Amino acid sequence: MSATISLQQLSEQLDSLEAEAAAAIQAAGSAADLETLRVGLLGKKGRLSAVLGAMGRLSAEERPLVGQRANRLKEQLQELLAERLGGLKRAVLEQKLEGERLDVTAPSRYVPAGHRHPLIATVEEIVDIFSGLGYRVAEGPEVESDHYNFTALNIPPDHPARDMQDTFYLSESTLLRTHTSPVQIRHLESTPPPVRIVAPGRVFRRDAVDATHSPVFHQVEVLAIDEGLDFSHLRGTVTTFLQQFFGDLPVRFRASYFPFTEPSAEVDVQWRGRWLEVMGCGMVDPAVLEGMGLDPERWSGFAAGLGVERFCMVRHGIDDIRRLYSSDLRFLEQF
Ligand code: DAH
C-alpha cells in the first residue's frame, strides 16, 4: 500500500460507501439493525471516519473537496437512517393496529345481571305508594321490648291478644317483635304530631312452617296522627293505596278487633272472583294516644298493618310462601 492516496481513489471509496450504505439502510429490518448500521457507518471507528482519516494524505488543495463531500454524505446518511427508522416505527404501529382491530359486530359476552328479590321489590313498591301520599319511612329494632311490642299498644300482660302473637323471647322482657306496630310508639316518642309514617320490616312469630305461614315474615306499618282525622281518611287512604297496588278492584272493610285501634277493621280486596284479606287497620285507640301523652280530644289518627308476603304472593300468583325463602334460582329468575 502506498503512502499517498489520490483524490480519485478517495472519491471512489465515498461513492461505494454511499451506494452500499443506502442499500443496507433500506434493507434494515428493525430499529436495532439500524443502530448497528449507524455505528458502523458514522461512528468513531466507522467507515466514514476511516475515509476522513485518509484525507490527511491528500494535498492541501484536494482536502476541502473531499471534506465537503464527506460532510454531505454524512448528512445524507443521517437523513436516510431517520427516514427508515420512521418507516419501521409506522410499520410496527400499523401491524399492532391491525392485530387489535375491534369487531363491533361481534356478539357480546353474556353477563347475567342480578335483580331484586320479589319480596323486597314488593316492600319498595308499597313504600313508594305511601311516599307518594306524603308518608315518611320510619324503622324500629327487630329485637324489641315487651313494652313497645305489647304493653304500649294497649296489650297488657295476660291480655288474651298476646296468644295470637306468640313469639320468641330472649329474656322475660325482650323478644323478637311480632309486628311492626311498635314502630308507631317509638316514632311518637321521638316526634310530635302531625305524623305520617310508613314502616317496613321483618317480624317473627312462633308459627310452624306451611304453605301460608313462616316464623319470619315482613310487614309494613302505616300511621297518621293529626288534628281532625277520622275513619273516612283511613278509608280513603287505604282504598287509594290498594287500588294503586292491585289496580281498580273492589275493596271492602269488615269490622274487626285490634287492641290498639278502635274501631278496627280488616280489609279485603276482590281478587280473581274471591274476597282476600290483605290488611288490618283502625283508628288509633285513645288509650294509646294517652299513653304517649297526647290529648285524644285534640289528636286523632289511624293505623294499618299489612303482610308483605301476602301482597307479593297475590301479585305474582305464588301459592306457597316457602318459595319466597328457598333461594331457588329457577323460581327467582322468573321475576
Ligand atoms: N299489628 C297487627 C298484626 O300484626 C296488624 C295491624 C292491625 C296493624 C291494625 C295496625 C292496625 O296498625 O291498625 O296483626
Mean pLDDT for 278-289 is 97
Say which CATH architecture domain 118-332 belongs to: 2-Layer Sandwich (3.30)
Work out the pLDDT band at 1, boundaries 50, 70, 90: very low
CA 215 – ligand 1 centroid, Å: 17
Which residue's C-alpha comes closest to atom 7 of ligand 1?
Answer: 280
Pairwise CA distance, residues 296 & 283, whole Å:
11
Beta-bridge mates of residue 253: 267
pLDDT in tens, 197-232: 999 999 999 988 998 889 999 999 999 999 999 999
Task: Give the angle 122-246-142 at the CA atoms, nearest 5°.
Answer: 30
Please state the φ and ψ torsions of residue 274, each to the nearest 5 degrees.
-135, 155
Q: Alpha-carbon dihedral of residues 124, 126, 127, 131, nearest 10 degrees?
A: 130
Question: How many angstroms separate the CA atoms of 187 and 294, rounded?
Answer: 13
Position 2 scores a pLDDT of: 47
**Quick one: pLDDT at residue 3?**
56
Q: How many residues does the chain have?
A: 335
At residue 230, the pLDDT reads: 97
* Candidate from 149, 155, 176, 181 with most ligand 1 atoms within 8 A of CB, to mutate: 181
- For 136-159, how does the pLDDT look when each residue is reduced to its tens digit (9 = 90+)? 999 999 999 999 999 999 998 888
CB 268 within 8 Å of CB 275: yes
Q: Express as a percent the part of the chain with pLDDT over 90.
A: 61
**b/e per residue 248-267 (b: at least 16 CB within 10 A):** eeebebeeeebbbbeebbbb
Is residue 258 lining ligand 1, measured as CB closer than 6 Å?
yes
pLDDT tens-digit profile of 236-272?
999 999 999 999 889 999 999 999 999 999 999 888 7
Mean pLDDT over the full length of the chain: 91
For residue 166, what pLDDT band results from cuts at 50, 70 and 90? confident
The whole-number average pLDDT for the span 298-316 is: 95
Q: Where are the beta strands (DSSP E) in the chain?
A: 136-137, 143-145, 174-176, 195-204, 216-227, 251-258, 261-271, 274-284, 299-307
Q: Which of 130, 153, 163, 179 to mutate to test the pocket of ligand 1 (most atoms within 8 A of CB)?
A: 179
Q: Residue 116 C-alpha to ligand 1 middle, in angstroms? A: 27
CB of residue 203 inside a 6 A radius of ligand 1: no
Ligand 1 proximity of 303 Cβ (cutoff 6 Å): yes
Domain boundaries, the chain: 7-99, 118-332
Does the beta carbon of 304 lie inside 6 Å of ligand 1?
A: yes
